[in-house]
Amino acid sequence: MNPFQYTRVTTPKAAVSALSQESGTYFLAGGTNLIDLIKREVVVPERLVDINKLPLATIEKTATGLRIGAMAKNSAVAEHELVKKHFPLLSMALNAGASAQLRNMATVGGNMMQRTRCPYFYDTSMPCNKRSPVQAGPDKGKPNGPSGCGAIDGYNRMHAIFGGSTKCIAVHPSDMCIALVALDATVNVSGPKGDRKIPFSDFHRLPGDTPQKDNTLLPGELIMSVDIPTNKFADNSHYLKVRDRASYAFALISVGVAVDMKRDVIQDIRLAMGGVAHKPWRLTEAEQFLRGKSATEANFKQAATIAMNGAKGYGENDFKLTLAPNSIIDALKTATKTA
């Protein structure tokens, strides 16, 4: 690893202040992704600000739902009684990710901040616009290896079928974030200019011309907590993850479903997909179609067709154009117990 300076902070204020001081400074939480990126020299920090001692690991009931501290470990959230009982989709998604060891280390905030696992991003000898932006500069990141996108005409089996650009077709790798976007979560952040709330669906972004930016955080901002509103989805939730191994692999396709059912009629529904886009991919049009409809295979098929509108394959990932709708139908059947 390249050498870096190390600062340990114990208050969010000191953390925000430390991050704002100089460029090349990164927050260090669980480190499961960042330390790996530093070892591979994809990220070359000047300074790490260790935020592990921040008092932000509380999981608590609020008047409107549940608040999860940004430093809560993935395993602690997945195993929490309130999460298992009221937000089982989140618990299922978390347990589908990584390994038991990594879930003990990884935090909620860190999970949201994790980078893509695109092999071109990870290999500094290969072209990548996310790692090495075309227009390098103070706000645009430092160049690190060649620019371009190796994936668009290269090895793209794991890559996006929605929302890609001519600069980047990487996917966001998180399982947890699929559940959080489906459950209408809100992200509470604190920064040099004060506190603000970001709807989870606006937290991550599509690559466009600036794939180096994964999210909409402003410089110096720290994730404090995530709020999930109360819902009626606990009895009919399912997270389906399709991957190359039975466990401990990133999703080829994942589907998060949360349904409020009355008899066989879908009163309300949330649908989101992972492994398909640069951000957790919410299927709002398919949700809209299914509201008020019966839980039948015919309706699920139509919803899946609607969800696949605008999907585009890049060669090696063309199989996702079939796997994705099939997974949507499968997950809907399981969640509505009509399988």
Partner 1 sequence: MNQHEHFGDELDSSDSSRRNFLKQSSALAALALTPAAANAAIHNGLDEKLAAAIEQLPLQVDINGTMQKLSIEPRVTLLDLLREQLHLTGTKKGCDHGQCGACTVHVDGQRVNSCLTLAMTTEGCKVTTIEGLGSVDQMHPMQEAFIKHDGFQCGYCTPGQIMSAVACIREGHANNPDEIREYMSGNICRCGAYANIVDAIMDVKQGGARV
Residues that bind partner 1 (CB under 8 A): 1-10, 14, 17-18, 28, 31-32, 35-36, 38-40, 46-48, 50, 52, 73, 75, 98-102, 104-105, 245-248
User: Taking Cα atoms as reference points, which of 111, 112, 108, 144 lies closest to residue 128?
Assistant: 144
Q: Give the other-Cβ count within 10 Å of 153's Cβ.
A: 10
**Which 8-state DSSP code applies to residue 309?**
T
Nearer Cβ to partner 1 (10/294) = 10
Beta carbon of residue 105, minimum distance to partner 1 (angstroms, whole number): 5
Beta bridge partners of 73: 107
Nearer Cβ to partner 1 (79/268) = 79
Beta carbon of residue 313, minimum distance to partner 1 (angstroms, whole number): 28
Beta carbon of residue 102, minimum distance to partner 1 (angstroms, whole number): 6
> Both tokens of residue 115?
């980078």
- The residue type of 120 is Y
Ramachandran angles phi, psi of 254, nearest 5°: -135, 150
Nearer Cβ to partner 1 (50/184) = 50
Nearer Cβ to partner 1 (98/257) = 98
Beta carbon of residue 126, minimum distance to partner 1 (angstroms, whole number): 17
> Both tokens of residue 181?
């976007």
Nearer Cβ to partner 1 (88/207) = 88
* DSSP secondary structure, 185-243, as one string: -EEEEEETTEEEEEEHHHHB---TT-TT--B-PPTT-EEEEEEEE--S-TTSEEEEEE-
Beta carbon of residue 33, minimum distance to partner 1 (angstroms, whole number): 9
